[in-house]
Amino acid sequence: MKDSFPYARHPSACIYCGHCVAVCPEDALQHIGEKKGEFILKTPDSNNPVDFFATRRSIRRYTSQPIASDILQQLISIAETAPSGHNARKRQYHIVKTQYAIEKLEKITANHYRRLLNISPLILGFLSVVSPRKAKKMAKTFQGLKRLVAAADKGHNPFYRGVPCVIFLTAPKKQYTGKDDCLAAQQILMLRAHQLGLGTCSIGFALRAHKALEKYLNIPKNRQIYAVTIVGYPKYHYKKAIYRPVEKCIF
């Protein structure tokens, strides 16, 4: 808040997710993304099955309520109904539930990006010679990463959001469709979680740090982390659902 009004702290970092307007309990915010057709806001109707999908949000604020083991088991059982190349079903689910271990994941991931930022001037110097356009884009990415690492240093948990549970999906490195298999299961897991009143978010930032995370989690050397999901009970409830207009639908 600034002068009693909400304001965007980093407008250039806005990804048009629409969360700010969808979550506001008073319907007090507007977003330029609505006018630009990036999304359409609607009050969800619990009888409309489409609204089930539209009300799934990437949740980044959680209560500290732990998730019972039988619920986690349910999530994984349903996730395993997902397709897999050649019906390989070689996925494994590594569940991290202790606060100590989740804080450690946060540190490991932040350290990965800290190291990357240390060499960022070299990367940017090289890119500005071979592709100035890419260098400009990369500089923006590094700005975002700097903010995340600074937030981690302040103990704000920017990567795993202080969640009570993190699920890592792994597959054998040799499995040709391993990554696709994990991503397919992750989406089903997230929708089942939404059905059970749980919130989730894919953590792509964790994937870049997969080697250090695999070491910490004692994941066998022949396997790789291909999907990471945080799961917990949402702290806030969303008043509106976001619908995304389809830009390209070719028949």
Ligand X SMILES: Cc1cc2nc3c(=O)[nH]c(=O)nc-3n(C[C@H](O)[C@H](O)[C@H](O)COP(=O)(O)O)c2cc1C
Question: How many residues touch ligand X (CB under 6 A)?
Answer: 10
Task: Name the residue nearer to ligand X (CB basis): 125 or 144.
Answer: 144
* Of residues 17 and 117, the one with the C-beta less far from ligand X: 17
Report 166-205 residues binding ligand X (CB under 6 A). 201-205
DSSP 109-148: HHHHHHHHHHTHHHHHHHHHHH-HHHHHHHHHHHHHHHHH
| Token pair for 154 | 């302040």
- When CB distances to ligand X are compared, the closest residue is 204
Residues 32-61 close enough to bind ligand X by CB under 6 A: 57-58, 60
36 SS3 class: coil
Helix (H) or strand (E) holding 165: strand 165-172
Least separation in angstroms between CB 174 and ligand X: 23
CB closer to ligand X out of 61 and 86: 61
Both tokens assigned to 221: 């050397």
Contact set for ligand X, span 3-32 (CB under 6 A): 15, 17
Q: Closest CB to ligand X among 131 and 195?
A: 195
The set of residues, in sequence order, having a beta carbon less than 8 Å from that of 108 and lying 6+ positions away, is 209, 212, 213, 216
Three-class SS state of 41: strand
Q: Interface mask (CB under 6 A) for ligand X, residues 133-152, using x and -?
A: --------------------
Task: Report the nearest approach of ligand X to the CB of residue 137 (Å).
Answer: 18
The amino acid occupying position 129 is: V
CB 23 within 8 A of CB 239: yes
Query: Nearer to ligand X by C-beta: 15 or 249?
Result: 15
Residues that bind ligand X (CB under 6 A): 15, 17, 57-58, 60, 201-205
